[in-house]
Chain A
Amino acid sequence: MTRNTGRVLGVNGNMVNVEFDGAIAKNEVGYIRQGDIRLKGEVIRINGNIAALQVFEMTGGIVVGDEVEFTGEMLSVELGPGLLTQIYDGLQNPLPELARQCGFFLQRGVYLQALPNLDWEFTPTVSVGDIVKAGDTIATVPEGLFTHQIMVPFDLVGSFTVTSINKAGTYKTRDIICTIEDSKKKKIELSMVFSWPVKKAIQLYSERLRPVEPMTTKIRIIDTLLPVAKGGTYCTPGPFGAGKTVLQHATSRNAEVDIVIIAACGERAGEVVEILKEFPELIDPKTGRSLMERTIIICNTSSMPVASREASVYTAVTIAEYYRQMGLDILLLADSTSRWAQAMREMSGRLEEIPGEEAFPAYLESRIAEFYERAGIVRLHDGKIGSVTIGGTVSPAGGNFEEPVTQATLKVVGAFHGLSRERSDARKYPAIDPLTSWSKYTGIIKQSDVEQMRRVLHGSHEVNQMMKVVGEEGTSVNDYVTYQMGELLDSCYLQQNTFDPIDTSVAPERQKHVFAKLRHLMNMPLTFETKSDVRRVFNNLRQLLLDWNNTLWESDEFKAAEAALDEAFKALM
C-alpha cells in the first residue's frame, strides 16, 4: 500500500493544516515529521487538498513545509489480553513504561506498544475447518481473574474457515496463533491482538436488553434512593469541590462489577496518582485479589495535550465494549465529561466553525448522546450477557446546571446525581441532593418503601422552608417531628463517610437491614408534648444510629448497638 504524504501549511494551536496528495480519510491518523520524532495527529476536516490535523502533542517547533505521513488507518486502540491493570494516556500509551524510558516528563513523539508481548496459557476453542465470524471466540487465555476470550477481529466482514489453530500451550501476545481464510481463499493470520477504531461502537451482539439489575455501589444514597442499573448511564454534575471525584473513586473501589475503567479526562494528575498508588494495595473483598487486577486507567490529565483528551473517553469506552464481548460487566467512570466537551470546543474554535451556546459546537449534544449510547446490557451471539455501565461527572461553569453540557447529558442518561454546593459547604457528604436528583432505575429496596422515604424527605424540607418564614414557634409539634425525621434520615443514612474504614462501603444486605429499621421508625405513631422533647429524642436516636453505622456488619458491637436502638424505639411507644 502506498502511504500518502503531505506538507504543513500552517499552525494554529494544536490545529495543523496540511496539503496532501492522493486520497485520505476523515479520522485518519497522520504523523508530522520533526527530525527524528514524529508527532501524531488525526484528520478532522478535509477541504480540497487541505486536511486539518488535530495534533495530539504540543505543536511548538513545527515549521511550515514539515513533512506529514498519513497512515491510512483511523485512530484505533489495540485490544487483547494484558489490558487489565494498565495505565494508559488518552492514546493508549502505557504511562509507567513511558516513565521507564523517558523519566519524569512526558516526551513528545514517543509512542509505545499498548500491549506488552507477554506469555499466555493458550487454550484453543475451535478446530481446523470450523466456520467463524467477527467476534467469535477462537481460544481463551487466563487473564488475572478472568478467562479472556481471544476473538476473531471485529472488523472482519463475512464468514471464515479456520485453516490452522495452535495447540494448547504458552504463546506470546503477538505470536500468530490461528489462520483463517475467507470464501475467496484469502488467508488471514491472527494473533491475540487486533485493533479497532475508537470512535466506532462495537455492535457484535444479538440484542440490547433493558437495564434492570441494580449495579450496587455500596453507597447508601445511590443504591437505596438513586440507583444505577447494569448497562445503564448516569451523570454526576456539581460545582468544583462538591465531591464528584471522591464519589467516583469510592464507586470504582466498591461497585459490584467485573471490571472498572477509569477515564481521568482533563482533571488533576494528583487524583490519578491516588488510584495508581492505592489500588494495587487494596484488596477486593469479593475476589481476595488486588483491586488493580480489575481496573484499567485511561489518564489524560488537564496539562496533557487537549486533543488526546478528546480521544481518551473513546479509548476508554472501546476497551469497555471489548471486555463486554466476553460476557463481563464493565463500569466506565469518566471524570470529567465537561473537559472532553471543552476539548471539542477548542477544536471547533480553531476550525472556525459556527459556535453554538457558550461557544460549544452545534454537534455537542449528538456527540454526548452517541457516547452514552455506547453503554448498555446486551445478549451476545453466544448467549452470554455483558454490560457497559457509564457514569460521567459534569463540571458546569459556575456550578449552574443550566449550561449546554449538563443539559445535553441530562437528556440521555438514566440517573442524575446532582451535587449541591450547599450540602458540600455544610460537609454533608456525599453531597448528592436527594430532592432534585432522580433515577429511572430500580434499586435494592422496594419502590414503594423508597417513595415513603422520599415523602419524608420532601416533607421535612418543606417544614424547614416554612420555618424560615414563620419561625420555629409558628410550627406545629407534628410538623417539627417530620422535620427532625427527615434530618435524621439525612444525617444517619443518606450521609456517609467515605474516609471511615467501615462507613465507606455498606453492602446491600446491611442497607436493607438498616433501612427496614428506619422504616419501622417512620411508621411509628410519634407524639410529643414539646419541640424540645422532639429534639432531645431525635438527638439521642441520631447518636445511636451514628454509633451503629460505626460498627462492623453483624459483629457483636453491631448487635449491641442495634439492641440499644431497639430499646430506644420501645421507649417511644
Chain B
Amino acid sequence: MQKIYSKIESIVGNVITVRAKGVANGELAVVASAGSTSFANVIKLDGDLVSLQIFSGATGTSTGDHVRFLGNPMRVSSSPNLLGRVFDGTGSPRDNKPELKEEMIDIGGPSVNPAKRIIPRNMIRTGIPMIDLFNTLVESQKLPIFSVSGEPYNELLARIALQAEVDLIILGGMGLKYDDYLYFKDTLEEGGAMNRTIMFVHTASDPTVECMLVPDMALAVAEKFALEGKKVLVLLTDMTNFADAMKEMAITMDQVPSNRGYPGDLYTQLASRYEKAVDFEGAGSVTILAATTMPGDDVTHPIPDNTGYITEGQYYLKGGRIEPFGSLSRLKQQVNSATRDDHRALMDGMIRLYASFKEALEKQSMGFMMSEWDEKLLKYGALFEEKMMDLSVNIPLERALDLGWEILGDCFEPNETGLRSDLIRARWPKHLGE
C-alpha cells in the first residue's frame, strides 16, 4: 500500500524531511506540488524522520507538497528499445518519444566479484599515436581525459567513440552545454552510430541534483548489455559536474568537508562508478571514457586527484594535444607485449628523451649556450611534437612505431637513445647505419 505524506518538516538546500514510518533507506519517492512532480530518494533515516533529496531541486517546494513513497529504489529501463534514444537525468525521454517501462533494473547495483573479472586483453585502436603508441587504450579500461575547460575533450571523446570497434555507445552527459549535446548527437548521426547509441543527458540548465543520477543510469544500462555479450563504451562528460553536485549535497547535509569543501567519501563515490568498467568472463565488457575538467588547470584539485587514484590512467589534454607527461595508460602493459617487440622499449625510451628535451628547453629559455647534445634534443622535441603529439595525426600503431625510429635516427646516435643494442640492431633505420 502506498501512503501519502503531506507534512514536510524542513526544506534545506535540495533536501526535505518528512515524518513517515516503514520507509527504507534508498527508497524512491515522488514529491508532488501544485504544478509539478519530482523524484526524490531517501538518504537518511532518523527515527521516523526521513530525509530525501529532490532530484529536480527544492526550489518552489512547499511544506504542503505531497510525498509518495514508491517502495523501490531508482530504476531504469534496460530494454533494447533504448537504442537510438535520448533521456534526461531521471530516465525520462528527452526526444518526445514514448516513455520506456520494460525490463526495469535498479541503478547503483552491487559490484562485480573480483574473482569473476578477467585480465583485459584487447587493444582499442584510435589512430592517435599519443594513445596507441604511448598510452594504449584497452577494452574495459576506465580512463578520464583531464583537461582545462575550453579544450576539445568532447571532440576527442566523440572521435574515439566513432573509431573504436564497440557494439554500443552510451553517453552520460552531466551539465553538458546544449551545443555540446547537439554536437554529440550530430557527430554520432553523421558517423552512422546513432542507432547503436543511448544517451542520458543532463544539460547545464537542468536541476543540479539530476546530474548525480546520470553515471549510475548509464552504467546500469551498460552493465546489463555487457552481460548480454555486448562491448559497451560509456562516455561520461563532465565528471567534474557530478562531483560538484555531490559536494553541494554534502554541504546541505552538514557533512564535515575533507578537502576544499569536498566530502570525505568523494573517492569512494567516484570509485563505485568507475569500477563498473569490467571485462566479463564469457560475456561483454564496459569501457569508460570520461571527461574531467580541472578547475584552475590544477591536477592536485580534489576532483582530478581522486579520479587519478581511481582510474586506470588519464589523458592529459592541454593546448589541443595529449601531453606525454601526466598522461598514462595503466593497462598498456596488458597488450603491448603482443603488438610489436619494440613497442614497450620505444614508448618509454622516447618519453625519457622527451623529458631531456624539456630540460634543454628550459636551459635555452634561460639563455644558456646550447651544447651539441642540447641541439640534438631540441631537434628531437620539435619533431616529436609535430609528428607524434599533433592530434590531427591519424596513423596506425605500426606506422607510428616506424615513425618513432625515424625520428630517433634523424636526431641521435644509437647509443644516445638509452635503448638496448639488440633492438637497435633490429630497428635502427637502415639507411643511416648504426
Contacts and interface: CB of A to CB of B under 8 A. Distances in A.
Contacts of B268: 266, 302, 306, 342, 346
Nearest to B48: A64
7 contacts: A104-B116, A104-B280, A266-B267, A273-B119, A277-B118, A342-B268, A399-B305
The 6 closest A-B pairs by CB, nearest first: A471-B368, A60-B26, A398-B300, A302-B271, A426-B355, A303-B275
A460 B309 CA distance: 33
Given A268-B310, A273-B119, A400-B300, A240 B264 contact: no
Given A359-B258, A427-B352, A468-B362, A346 B265 contact: yes
A240 B351 contact: no
A539 B353 CA distance: 14
B418 interface: yes
Interface in B359-394: 362-363, 366, 368-369, 371-374
A427 B348 contact: yes
Contact of A543 (B257, B362, B421): B421
A259 interface: no
A456 interface: no
A270 B286 CA distance: 13
Contact of A425 (B23, B118, B355, B415): B355
Interface of A: 8-13, 17, 58-65, 87, 95-96, 98-99, 102-108, 239-241, 266, 268-270, 272-274, 276-278, 299, 301-304, 306, 339, 342, 345-346, 349, 355, 358-360, 395, 397-400, 425-428, 467-468, 471-473, 491, 499, 531-532, 535, 539-540, 542-543, 546-547, 550
Contacts of B2: none
A349 B114 contact: no
Q: Among the interface residues B227, B305, B326, which one has the most CB atoms of the partner chain A within 10 A?
A: B305
Contact of B25 (A61, A103, A304): A61
A427 B328 CA distance: 10
A274 B121 CA distance: 11
B120 interface: yes
Interface in B383-413: 413
Nearest to A400: B300
A468 B258 contact: no
B369 A472 contact: yes
B255 A473 contact: no
Interface stretch (B39-47, B173-181, B208-216): B39-47
A273 B117 contact: yes
B308 A103 contact: no
A304 B115 CA distance: 13
A266 to B, nearest CB: 8
B259 interface: yes
Contacts of B312: 268, 270
Nearest to A535: B373
Given A64-B48, A105-B113, A268-B275, A472 B305 contact: no
B275 A302 contact: yes
Contacts of B109: 105
A355 B113 contact: no
B420 A550 contact: yes
B275 A240 contact: no
Given A273-B119, A499-B333, A546 B420 contact: yes
B305 A276 contact: no
B104 interface: no
A109 to B, nearest CB: 11
B98 interface: no
Contacts of A13: 265
Given A277-B119, A427-B351, A547-B420, A95 B113 contact: yes
A564 to B, nearest CB: 10
A491 B418 contact: yes
Nearest to A425: B325
B258 A303 contact: no
B340 interface: no
A468 B416 CA distance: 21
A193 B48 CA distance: 44
